[in-house]
Amino acid sequence: MNPLWTLLPPLLVIPFIILFGEKHRNLREGAIILAGLVLLGINDRIYSAVTNGQIVESGEIAILANFSLRLSAEPMGVLFGLLASFLWVVTTVYSIGYMRGHDEKNQTRFYCCFALAIACVMAAAYADNLLTLFVAYEAITLSTFPLVTHAGNDASKKAGRLYLLLLMCGSIGLFLPAVIWIATAAGTLDFEAGGILADAQMSKASLAFLLALCVFGVGKAAVMPMHRWLPAAMVAPTPVSALLHAVAVVKTGVFTILKLITYTFGIDLVSSTGVASYILPVVAFTVIASSLIAFTKDNLKARLAYSTISQLSYIVMAALLATTMSVTGGAMHIVMHAFGKITLFFCAGAIMVSLHKTNISDLDGMGKRMPITMVCFFIGALGIIGLPPASGVWSKLLIAGGSLEAGNAFWLGVLMLSTLLNIAYLLPIPLRAFFKPPATPYTGGWTEAPAPSLWAITVTTTVCILLFVFPQPLINLLGLIQWR
């Protein structure tokens, strides 16, 4: 199995999207779903190959003299690839309901860029070296830019400018020099078990600086102060916010950091030199501060965006703690948070389409009108908080365990405090919807979202619960990571 195959379905479907266009909307979206299923199948094949211990890799293109583009599969990447391709299918189904219900314009361009972004995410997931990952990372920024500015009005253009400026400045101004520095110091950019910097004879100060360049340069991980693009990007249509700005794009950021810590720096180097201790406080600050900001947001999507920032920093924190348990937890949290957060975003979009409401304060009593959506929102929120019976509990447990393993209970305290904050800003939403009487009495029946959207919401919610009951396959897969 060649990981290059994963690029084909999303790329090949683009001509069909253009060909079918607005005139044959069902065919267009059918083609995307078909491509998504094929992609999922390919990822599943790679998954079984990797779990059977086979080597899955592609050929290479020498882009620079000693550095090449190349794809290969390793456990974290397989997990990420599976996640993104599964959610692509679900999100496409959801979009059918949302985009038509909302009468969005330029849907063909929307679906094209979406497919292109997925292809780039696949390249990032299976990147064999840092150069490939960097290339894919940049490509994701560029291919998602038209999605942020989709509406074409002033607000979205302003948001798009911020999006491009922060992400590109971060990646070209900080991340690229880090990559070049690594290349000159280690002489290679390959991802190797145990890292490549251990033998590079770098002083502690320069290692810490390099790490800071990486963590802040990967703006997609939204560690403060590089986080502003994420709330701004919420002007995009909800499916984009759901798949890209809660899963694919932001997770590429934290995935990059996980890969850097595991395969470039090496967890032993990070933990033995303690270089992460300079950055961890910033990350911890992000966790708490963005939770607090989420409180103040009345706009539902904005609150979810800040919640995402906080959750992303969990993963960055897990990576920086640099123990096997915490990094496993971080990788797992990519999946767990993805299902929880995408459910919440789907619900937010559903509310927007059927009730035309975007603010939390307007949701009083709406549980009677959209009971299924609200129940799903509740379960998704539990997943984010990390309470049974939703999936987030396992990854949080691992990260918490990892912080103890790293010998510092302070970070555990940060996690727990943030969990309390999560409860306080997420749970009131469904509670208000169910138990507070609406401002104007309502006697009509259900006004649920369009059927495809509702289907998508139930699927992600179900997975949320399933992953709570059966987390073992994930743990087994991540158990294959070669740490040293």
Partner 1 sequence: MIADQLPALQIVIPMLAAPLCVLVKRSNACWAIALVANVLVVINAFALLHQVRTDGVIRYALGGWAAPTGIEYYVDTMNAIMLLLVSFISCVTLVFAYTSVKKTVVTGKHYLFYAAWMLCLTGLLGISITGDAFNVFVFLEISSLATYMLLAFGSDRRALTASFRYLIMGSVGASFILIGIGFLYAATGALNMVDLAQRIPDAESQRAVLVAFSFLTIGLMIKAAVFPLHGWLANAYQHAPIAVTAFLAGTATKVSLYVLLRFFFSIFGPNYSFGAMLLNVVLLPAAIVGFLLLSLVAIFQTDLRRMLAYSSVAQIGYIVAAFCLATQSGLTAGIVHIINHGIIKTALFMSVGCIIYRVGHAHIGSLDNLMKKMPLTVTAFIISGLGLIGVPLTVGFISKFSLIGASLERGWWMVGALVLVSSLFAIVYVGRVVEIMVFRSSRTDTPEPTGMREAPMSMLVPMYVLIGISLWFGISGSTTLSVASEAAAALLGGYQ
Residues that bind partner 1 (CB under 8 A): 61-65, 69, 134-135, 138-139, 142, 149, 152, 157, 160-161, 164-165, 168-169, 172-173, 176-177, 180-181, 183-184
130 vs 457 by CB, closer to partner 1: 130
Q: What is the largest CA-CA distance in the chain?
A: 72
Could you tell me if 215 and 221 are in contact, meaning their C-beta atoms sit under 8 angstroms apart?
yes
Best CA proximity match to 248, nearest among 458, 87, 109, 136: 87
Cβ nearer to partner 1, comparing 8 with 164? 164
Q: Write down the number of H helices and E strands in the chain.
A: 21, 2
For residue 274, give every residue at least 6 positions away whose Cβ sits within 8 Å of its Cβ, in sequence order, or none: 204
CB 56 within 8 A of CB 3: yes
- The answer to whether residues 342 and 242 touch, using CB atoms and an 8 Å cutoff, is yes
Please say which residue, 163 or 468, places its beta carbon nearer to partner 1.
Answer: 163
For the bound state, the minimum distance from the C-beta of residue 149 to partner 1, rounded and expressed in Å, comes to 6
Closer CB to partner 1, 169 or 417, in the complex: 169
Specify the length of the chain in residues.
Answer: 484
DSSP for 22-43? TTTHHHHHHHHHHHHHHHHHHH
173 vs 437, which CB is nearer to partner 1? 173
CB of 198 to partner 1, least distance (A): 20
Minimum gap (Å) between residue 16 Cβ and partner 1: 19
Bond prior to 389 in cis (omega within 30° of 0): yes
Of 65 and 445, the one with the shorter C-beta distance to partner 1 is 65
Quick check: 308 and 286 in contact, CB under 8 A? no
Q: CB of 75: closest distance to partner 1 in angstroms?
A: 25
SS3 state at 450: coil
Question: Which of 442, 433, 468 is CA-nearest to residue 361?
Answer: 433
Q: In the beta sheet, which residues pair with residue 61?
A: 69
We find the least distance from the C-beta atom of residue 349 to partner 1, in angstroms, to be 24
Between residues 102 and 157, which has the closer beta carbon with respect to partner 1? 157
- Residue 173 vs 388, nearer CB to partner 1: 173
- On the 0-12 / 13-18 / 19+ scale of CB atoms within 10 A, 100 is middle
Indicate the DSSP class of residue 366: G
Q: Which is nearer to partner 1, 142 or 465 (by Cβ)?
A: 142
* Residue 70 main-chain phi, psi, to 5 deg: -165, 145
